[in-house]
Amino acid sequence: MPTPPDWSKASDDELAQEAQAGLRGQGAPVEMSRRLRDAILDLKAAILNEERVIKRLTVVLVVLTVLQLLIVGFQVYREVRASAHEITRPIGAPAR
């Protein structure tokens, strides 16, 4: 009984040709399926990594946005308070 070929060393084109021929068993389609599965798992791992990075960047942007809102809000509060003081100052009174 002849030994089956080592499909893991065959190129994708060789595996496709073997699958088309169908004369030597199911080794080539099985190897093609394994390679496809490996590629899908690699892609899934890359997508999960990118998802983590995007979530971290989103958190950083939210924190920076809140910080910016607090700073601007404080500045607006100071300006409104200062202008209100100017409005209520009696005529001829010295400005602070």
pLDDT digits (tens, 9 = 90+) for 25-56: 666 677 777 888 889 999 999 999 999 999 99
Residue-range domain boundaries for the chain: 11-88
**Residue 28 CB-density burial (10 A; 0-12 exposed, 13-18 middle, 19+ buried):** buried
The two structure tokens encoding residue 33: 């399926």
Instruction: Quote the pTM value.
Output: 0.52
Cα dihedral across residues 18, 22, 23, 27: positive or negative = positive
pLDDT more than 70, % of the chain: 71
